[in-house]
Amino acid sequence: MFMMFLKIIVKSCLYCLMVILGFLLGRATTGSKPPDTPDRMFHAGPTIERFADLSELLVVKLDVSDIVTTSIEGRTGGVQIILLVKGDVSLGVDLAGAHLNDVDRINRVAVLKLPPPSPSRPRLDHTRTRIFLIEKEGLWQFWPGTKPYTLVTDRAMAEAQDLVKATGATAEADRRARSHAEAVLQLFFKSLDWKVRIDWSDRSPA
């Protein structure tokens, strides 16, 4: 009985020894990394291609709300219209014209030169634009038909479209577009752990 018990203990010890040796052998053969595995991740740094898809995020849309007064005058009278104008215009930065300069990959800093914002897609919102007042004056009040109303309305709508477009070219619109673009791009580069100074091509460097 004792001999049988001893044999069981010896077999158990041999089995444990084999497991330990197998584990150590596995560590010896697989513990080192394959020769093609890099020691650490290498970040190539910012490139124009990396943030080209941000173009749409750089677009700021400005709502336009104003009043246009238009009149057509004749010898014996005229017609006047007051239009409540609603619309919007977008301003964006074309990243195709952007350049990265003075790239320092050790200190992770660079200079990003951008073209100035440009307005696009001026849109007069016909569903929200309203005629506040339209009336004939002088002897035109007795002119039958709606032709004077149609003429003055068409002219007012054209002037309203020009007004919406002009809003995108104001200094305030330009300031808002630049501020928005800088905020988006700074946040993007911060996520890459880079510091980037933004210069505008139409302005002297800060």
On whether the CB atoms of residues 170 and 164 are closer than 8 A, the answer is: no
Domains contained in the chain, number: 1
Closest among 114, 115, 95, 91 to 50, alpha carbons compared: 95
Q: Is residue 93 part of a domain?
A: yes
Residues 6+ apart with CB under 8 A from 45: 103, 105, 108, 110, 192, 194
Domain that holds residue 142: 47-200
Question: What is the structure's pLDDT at 45?
Answer: 61
Q: Which residues pair with 84 in a beta bridge?
A: 67, 130
Would you state the pLDDT for residue 48? Answer: 61
**Residue 58 in tokens:** 């750089």
Neighbours of 57 (CB within 10 A): 16
Determine, yes or no, domain membership for 134: yes
Whole-model pTM over 0.85:
no
* pLDDT reported for residue 51: 67
Domain assignment of residue 65, yes or no: yes
* Residue 174 within any structural domain of the chain: yes
Query: What pLDDT sits at residue 123?
Result: 95
- On whether residue 149 sits in a domain, the answer given is yes
As given in the structure block, the two tokens for residue 119 are 């307005």
Look at residues 169, 78, 53, 184 and name the one whose alpha carbon lies nearest to residue 117.
Answer: 169
Each residue's pLDDT, cut to its tens digit, for the chain (206 residues) gives: 434 433 434 344 444 444 444 444 444 444 444 444 443 333 456 666 666 677 778 889 999 999 999 999 988 889 999 999 999 999 999 888 888 899 898 999 999 999 999 999 999 999 999 999 999 888 888 878 888 899 999 999 999 999 999 999 999 999 999 999 999 999 988 888 899 999 999 887 76
Looking at residue 192, its pLDDT comes to: 85
Q: Is residue 24 in a domain?
A: no
- Domain for residue 180, yes or no? yes
159: nearest Cα among 89, 85, 88: 85
Q: Report which of 198, 204, 201 is spatially closest to residue 51, judged by C-alpha positions.
A: 198
Decide if 84 is inside a domain. Answer: yes
